A and B are shown apart, each in its own frame.
Chain A
Amino acid sequence: MNKEYLDNKNVDSKANAGCPSPVADSSGTSVIKEVAEGDYKYGFVSDIDTEIIPVGLNEDVVRLISAKKGEPEWMLDFRLKAYRHWLGMVPPKWGHLRMPDIDFQAISYYAAPVKKEGPKSLDEVDPELLKTFDRLGIPLQEQKQLSGMAVDAVMDSVSVKTTHKEALAEKGIIFCSISEAIRDYPDLIKKYLGSVVSYKDNFYAALNSAVFSDGSFVYIPKGVRCPMELSTYFRINASGTGQFERTLIVADDDSYVSYLEGCTAPMRDENQLHAAIVEIIVEDRAEVKYSTVQNWYAGDKDGRGGIYNLVTKRGLCRGDYSKLSWTQVETGSAITWKYPSCVLMGEGSVGEFYSVALTRNHQQADTGTKMIHLGRNTRSTIVSKGISAGFSENSYRGLVKVTPAAEGARNYTQCDSLLLGSDCGAHTFPYIDVMNPTAIVEHEATTSKISEDQIFYCNQRGIPTEEAVGLIVNGYAKEVMNKLPMEFAVEAQKLLQISLEGSVG
């Protein structure tokens, strides 16, 4: 194989500039280089009036956020308890990450697009804002509602618009921003908020519990199969702010919902913090499918800027024979620190985790899952595919815990890493704790690069190296991509292709 063909240094970056096609010509991998060197198409900033409170964090700020949201007393108490607990905590350092200390007093904890009254229809929504979501390809507009997806769009921590609400309400499904839910369904929120991820859980969970400004709430009543995909798009727009949203999904007995989450942010030289919490409760025989395509701004090719994505996601399969499936495609963020987890409490409950994490340039990811088997005959599957390129560090960290009561628990874990380039790192840190002799736990991991034989085979059949790499990587990630809903699968595949190109070499 011609090694130079894979080498970025030998490629003229000017040639073929702007060509959106990933196809490489015989002159080299210029297209790929173009794309790799910063074509983050969501990196624009929208000119929207935004209300930002001054930087810093203290009890008054927590009270101010609560007051701005018009929250009841019990919610303020929840926040203050979390804040006071947070004061006594220190940021976790165990991740395989080089993360500078974050100055939590240099962040503004509330930024919201200015609005008069809540928009009654899309006509009242700020046109700039609509344009923003248009550019992101998010179907907020009425005509696009036929696309069959209900969307909650969250910009700078505040939910700006939720579509299809009425259609969902007919079935008794609640899909709204969490602020509305606190106002309209206080009993449900009181019952479930913090029940899976307590404010004491970890440093960033405590921070989020104190300052979260919005997020989504989903409630699927007993026996209801949600007729459409529910989706939230998160967007950080304002500078100098962090985003702290909170998602709460409750699937009552025999219900089903598929939930999608997408994220983007402008390109800035500063690092911005995203510390979210996702809590999911799955009751008897219910099923929740949670898919994420994470494409926060990852910083430039020298590692300047980018989002610190420090997220706590956890689902409780409380009911018997309940099922929770996490699927994630992680391509963005300067630093990713997240472990979507399943607590398998109900008998015969099932947890799944499918992940593709791609890091390039100076990105760092320490991501994986936790499967905690509490109930009898619980099953879990973990499939993690890491792809590292450039100078990035990509780590899988996962816990499989079988407690003494989890008779007949079963876990299968597979985590593979693919290295593209000799300056990146791929690491695996699985923790396996088995306390029951009837459990079967299997873990396997491999690390390798794309072999020259594979490339040579493709070349022989007339497939240029560039395409061959794309082909092989897509094949490598297929197992996870197949788990994504159709709407996301296409986007994720494209994202993977774009992110990957130019990383080859």
Chain B
Amino acid sequence: MSNAVDQYLNLYGDYREAIGSHSAGVLNARRDDGAEALARAGRFHVRGDEGYEKTSVDEMFSPDFGVNVNRVNMPVDVGASFRCGVPNLSTLLAVVVNDRFVPSSTLIKNLPAGLTVCSLAEAAREMPRLVEKYYAKAACMSDASVALNTMLVQDGVFIHVARGTRLEKAVQLVDIFHSSTPLLAPRRVLVVAEEDSHISILKCDHTQGEDAACLSSEVIEIFAGRGARVEWYDIEESNASTSRRSQLFARQEEGSELHICVATLTNGVTRNDFHIDVAGGHASTRLSAMAIGSDRQHIDNSSVIRHAADYGSSDQLLKYVLDGNATGAFEGVIEVCHGARFVEAYQSNRNILASSGARMHAKPQLLIYNDDVKCSHGATTGQLDNNALFYMRTRGIPEAEARRMLMQAFMVDVIDTISLEPLRDRLRHMVDRRFAGVKAGCAECGSGCPD
């Protein structure tokens, strides 16, 4: 058994009661399963394992992180997070400080009918049957990171959209890391969109302060019922001392639509997994992601879209621009199960290496067990088009600016997949600022995000 696994199993052994006493029955009920699964796995994935060619999860979990078992209140400037608001986009805001859920007053007072957004532990206490029906049902426990999360998680976010509810406002979750000592935050999000409901969720990750190392162990489960539409937007703007191990598991029923868009702008080490199970017929999935890396940033996205029913469609677009000594990795699988007919699945991965120290690893994969399908993938790694650069310079645009414009144009495809127009504009602006190398837009904000 690896040292990393050992230290967390020991922690669980020592604080089992304390962890449970600050949580809820439904979450506690799966804790031992998590511990068993973690012990069975024996280790986290290391660099070189199939599917983990460039990222060592073990290295992410190895440091001696503290876990806020006793729910000590860590003061954080919650007000700062309000500045993360998207201009012209009115949202229902909630903040997650490390792993503690803090709803905004709007969320408490003006929650639209048919929508529940609350702490996962609270939901588990008040609606145990509903939470139990979905909790840890999509996440695959055989993965050591999921097992660890299930073993240690005490709270999280629960979002439920009742049948037929179509929300006009997006729900915004602002995740803030703040700790003076190295901290591991097991985060959990459970989204249940019942039949014919619509919801958009925007999640932003920030780290306040630069001092201590933080690790976010995040498990997100999304259930999209018949004809439901779920949009999940995730923007990461953390710092070099933050590691993020995020795993999203989604299950789609018949005729549902799932749209995921993830942008990694600043970070330390990030590994995002997307496991999407297209279980119902005529369901569609769109996954888009962008990663902008510089310095020693490490960004690894991995996706598995599994088509188990007829007439499914999926479209993936992932783009990376890597500068400095940044490393990027992408591994994507399209799986069409035996008997899933008339599936159309596409995957595209485009990468630009802007410096000699940048590295990119791509592994797009197709696993096809049926003949009546149309599936394709494409991956390219290269540099900016010299002709385009030359053309712009002949028109008097300085080289640095021309480069920035081209890189921004390169990312436009991903931004355009977002259906919320104000968010599109905001992200375009953020990407522009990111390429311009501008950080910490507002002096009074500790989040360090661009203005």
Contacts and interface: CB of A to CB of B under 8 A. Distances in A.
Interface in A426-445: 426-445
A423 B338 contact: yes
B377 A434 contact: no
B245 to A, nearest CB: 23
B378 A443 contact: yes
Instruction: Give the interface SS of chain B, mostly helix, strand, loop or mixed.
Output: strand
Given A432-B362, A432-B381, A433-B359, 16 more contacts: A417-B368, A424-B369, A425-B368, A428-B366, A433-B361, A434-B361, A439-B381, A440-B383, A442-B378, A442-B382, A443-B379, A443-B380, A444-B377, A444-B379, A445-B364, A445-B378
A448 interface: yes
A153 interface: no
Interface in A392-447: 404, 417, 419-447
A444 B381 contact: no
Contact of B379 (A417, A430, A437): A430
B365 interface: yes
5 contacts: A419-B373, A437-B356, A439-B381, A440-B381, A445-B364
Interface of B: 50, 53, 338-339, 341, 351, 353-356, 358-383
A94 interface: yes
A437 B328 CA distance: 13
Secondary structure of the A side of the interface? strand
* 10 A-B pairs with least C-beta separation: A419-B371, A437-B353, A449-B371, A432-B362, A446-B376, A428-B366, A440-B382, A444-B378, A434-B381, A447-B375
A438 B378 CA distance: 19
Listed residue (A425, A437, A438, A442) with the most chain B CB atoms within 10 angstroms of its CB: A437
B359 A434 contact: yes
A421 B338 CA distance: 11
Given A94-B50, A430-B379, A431-B53, A422 B363 contact: no
B110 to A, nearest CB: 49
A433 B331 CA distance: 12
A441 B382 contact: yes
A404 B351 contact: no
Nearest to A415: B366
A392 B362 CA distance: 27
B359 A422 contact: no
B315 to A, nearest CB: 15
A439 B362 CA distance: 14
Contacts of B53: 431, 433
A361 B370 CA distance: 15
Interface string A435-465: 1111111111111110000000000000000
A433 B329 CA distance: 9
Contacts of B363: 429-432
A447 B365 contact: no
A445 B378 CA distance: 6
Nearest to B362: A432
B364 A443 contact: yes
B327 to A, nearest CB: 9
A435 B326 CA distance: 11
A436 B356 contact: yes
A427 B380 CA distance: 19
Contacts of B380: 440-443
Nearest to B366: A428
Contacts of A426: 366, 368
A444 B362 CA distance: 12
A427 B353 contact: no
Nearest to B369: A425
A197 to B, nearest CB: 21
A429 B53 CA distance: 13
Contacts of A422: 338-339, 341, 370-372
B382 A439 contact: yes
B350 to A, nearest CB: 10
Contacts of A428: 364-366, 377
A442 B355 CA distance: 19
Interface string A211-253: 0000000000000000000000000000000000000000000
A428 B354 CA distance: 28
B127 to A, nearest CB: 42
Nearest to A438: B383
A449 B338 CA distance: 15
Contacts of B339: 422
A427 B367 contact: yes
Contact of A419 (B354, B359, B368): B368
Contact of A417 (B355, B366, B372, B382): B366
A447 B378 contact: no
Contacts of A442: 378-380, 382
Nearest to B365: A429
Contact of B364 (A404, A417, A430, A434): A430
Nearest to B380: A442
A427 B370 contact: no
B364 A448 contact: no
Contact of A436 (B338, B353, B368, B369): B353
B355 A437 contact: yes
A363 to B, nearest CB: 15
A427 B366 contact: yes
Contacts of A427: 365-368
Contacts of B351: 434
A443 B377 CA distance: 8
A308 B356 CA distance: 43
Contacts of B338: 422-423
B78 to A, nearest CB: 42
Contact of A448 (B353, B355, B358, B373): B373
A449 B365 contact: no
A395 to B, nearest CB: 9
Contacts of B354: 437
A315 B159 CA distance: 57
B368 to A, nearest CB: 5
Nearest to A407: B356
Contacts of A444: 376-379
A441 B381 contact: yes
B368 A434 contact: no
A129 B159 CA distance: 76
A258 B438 CA distance: 58
A379 to B, nearest CB: 14
A141 B377 CA distance: 50
Interface string A277-298: 0000000000000000000000
Nearest to A421: B371
A434 B355 CA distance: 12
B2 to A, nearest CB: 20
B211 to A, nearest CB: 33
A266 B53 CA distance: 41
A422 B377 CA distance: 21
B365 A430 contact: yes
A448 B50 CA distance: 26
Contacts of B360: 432-434
Interface in A296-349: none
B359 A435 contact: yes
Contacts of B374: 447-448
Contacts of B362: 430-432, 434, 443
Contacts of B361: 431-434
Contacts of A446: 375-376
Nearest to A413: B379
Contacts of A434: 351, 353, 359-362, 381
A439 B355 CA distance: 11
Contacts of B379: 430, 432, 441-444
B383 A437 contact: yes
A382 to B, nearest CB: 13
